[in-house]
């Protein structure tokens, strides 16, 4: 499945990547190779392959650990953050396109 340059540009925009025209062409070729390989995998007959609940090389998911910091460090972080609303730290949205 060949991706057009327009589709590749759309993917780059979604990933917030700024690519030159040359980089877009190279990425389109790379993505075409990846999608071609995925297409080959989709055609593999797995009818008689036993299902597994977990692969032997799969590590358990990491668990986030909350670590308390002293009040002075917390205050430095909050007051030094460029965009905040009270104690809430604002960061750019992940799935919305910047308006500026």
Domains of the chain: 1-43 (1.10.20.60)
Q: What three-state secondary structure class fits 42?
A: helix
Q: Quick one: pLDDT at residue 54?
A: 61
Digits of tens for pLDDT over the chain (100 positions)? 578 889 999 999 999 999 999 999 999 999 999 999 999 999 999 888 887 766 666 677 888 888 899 999 988 888 888 898 888 888 888 776 665 5
Give every CB contact of residue 28 below 8 A, 6+ residues apart in sequence: 2, 3, 4, 5, 7, 8
Q: Look up residue 83 and give its two tokens.
A: 């965009």
Length in residues, the chain: 100
**CA angle in degrees (0–180, nearest 5) for 5-26-39:** 75
- Chain-centroid distance of CA 51 in Å reads 28
């Amino acid at each position: 499945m060949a991706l057009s340059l327009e589709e590749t540009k759309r993917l780059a925009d979604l990933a917030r990547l700024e690519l030159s025209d040359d980089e877009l062409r190279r990425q389109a070729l790379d993505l075409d190779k990846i999608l071609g390989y995925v297409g080959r995998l989709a055609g593999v007959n797995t009818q008689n392959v036993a299902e597994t609940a977990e692969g032997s090389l799969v590590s358990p998911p990491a668990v986030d650990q909350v670590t308390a910091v002293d009040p002075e460090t917390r205050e430095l972080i909050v007051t030094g953050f460029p965009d905040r609303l009270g104690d809430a730290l604002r960061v750019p949205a992940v799935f919305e396109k910047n308006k500026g």
